[in-house]
Every structure is written in structure tokens, then in C-alpha cells.
Amino acid sequence: MPERDDEEVLRLTGLRKSYNVGLPTEVEVLHGLDLSIRRHDFAALIGPSGSGKSTLLNVLGLLDSPTAGELTLLGNPTRELDDEARTALRASALGFVFQFHHLIPAFTALENVMMPLMIAQGRPSRQTVEMAQQLLHQVGLGDFAGRRPDELSGGQQQRVAIARALVTRPALLLADEPTGNLDTHTAAEVFELFRRFNQEFGCAVLLVTHDPRLSDTCDRVIRLVDGAIVEDTRRSS
């Protein structure tokens, strides 16, 4: 395997997130987080319910803005970006996979995978179609391109969602409980897909999971408790 670029993909510096700012009910959920993620990272974000994982994931995904501190993505400070610039950076640099796949029922698997590029580029080019077909093949669904979501199993639908998340070749893949609705065997297969794309494409992966079987096999574990990072452990390879 060729040596991968190990550039820093994301950095948090003193990041804080509060809600109801300026009101008597103001509450700070994230308390001055410092974190760096590089392209080689295959990390699990773990912590008890209410620890701030969902809030942090929304901030990392540029779906919400920090109250203080900075989030730098591919060298770009993001806190002062306007909505258009944030949307463009999110679309080019980040991929998302959720517990629920959110496929469009009326579209085929191929059309669902192409959707991020179609949103960005309009009518799909031959290159877009070929890239989407290649990704479907890589996730083991090359023969299912013309099927709609209701003609696919749960595991197959999640594979389509993974291909969709990777079609833009993101620098960072954020996965929120991606195997939560899958049986143990299918969950293991999906996990191996994440691992393979991390190794082959240099796509950093951050998995939010409650499943210790998944977090125990990640290279890095980041534990969030009460809005603070209390552990950031790298396992030796």
C-alpha cells in the first residue's frame, strides 16, 4: 500500500458550544475542546448519553457553529464563514453516514450515490456516472445499480449510503452510529468498508458509536464526558 498523506484534516482550538446564549437558561455543552484529526486517523468517538457527542458531531459537520474557539477544516478557519461558504466546504471536504441511511425512495441506488455530485454540478456527466458505478462496485453492489431502496436489504441500503458519502472523495468521513440498525455480521462488513476506504483513499474516519466491539477495533478512541475530552488514546499498530 502506498504511503498515505498524513496532513491535518481538522483542528479544534478551545472550542465551546452554548445554547440560549444571553438568557437565564444559557447552558454550555462543549467546554473548550482541543482536537486534531489527520488523514490516517480511524477513530471512535464514545461517551455516555448526554455527554455532548451529537452536539460535537453537528459542529464538526459544519451544521452548527461554535460559540467560541475555532474549527479549522483543511486549513480553513470556519467560524466566520457565511452559510454559502460553509455549505461549499462541507460538500467538498466532509462525508456523512448515519444510523438511518436517508436514501431517496424514488431514486435508484446509482442515482442516490450520484446525488451529492448532481447537487454540486447539475446534470450528471459521464465521469460522475462512472465514479458512482465504481463506488457501488467497491461496496459490493455493482449489480444492484438499478434497484430502488425498497428492493435492497438494510445492509445493502447502508452500503449505498456509504458510497454516496464517499463519492465526493471527502477528507473526513463522519459516521453516527452507522451500524446501529444492522445485524452483527452486516455491521462487521460495513465496518470493514470504512477501514478499507480509510486505508485506500486516505479518508479520515470518525465513528460515533455505543458499540464497544467497534470502538475496540479502532486505532484511536476519543472519550467525551460532560462536554470535555477525558481520553484520547491511540493504539499501537
What are 134-178's pLDDT values in tens digits? Answer: 889 888 888 999 999 999 988 888 889 888 988 888 999 999 888
Which tens digit of pLDDT belongs to each residue from 183-231? Answer: 788 778 878 888 888 988 889 999 998 888 888 889 999 999 999 999 9
Amino acid, res. 57: L
Q: Determine the pLDDT at residue 12.
A: 96
Q: Identify the domain containing residue 83 by its residue range.
A: 8-103+170-234
- Main-chain dihedrals φ then ψ at residue 137, nearest 5 degrees: -65, -40
Which range, of 8-12, 70-74, 120-124, 160-164, averages the lowest pLDDT? 120-124
* Closest C-alpha among 124, 108, 109, 65 to residue 90: 65
pLDDT in tens, 69-94: 999 999 999 988 888 898 888 888 99
**What is the pTM for the complete model shown?**
0.86
Residue 116, domain member (yes or no): no
Determine, yes or no, domain membership for 214: yes
CATH of the domain at 32: 3.40.50.300
Identify whether 63 is part of a domain: yes
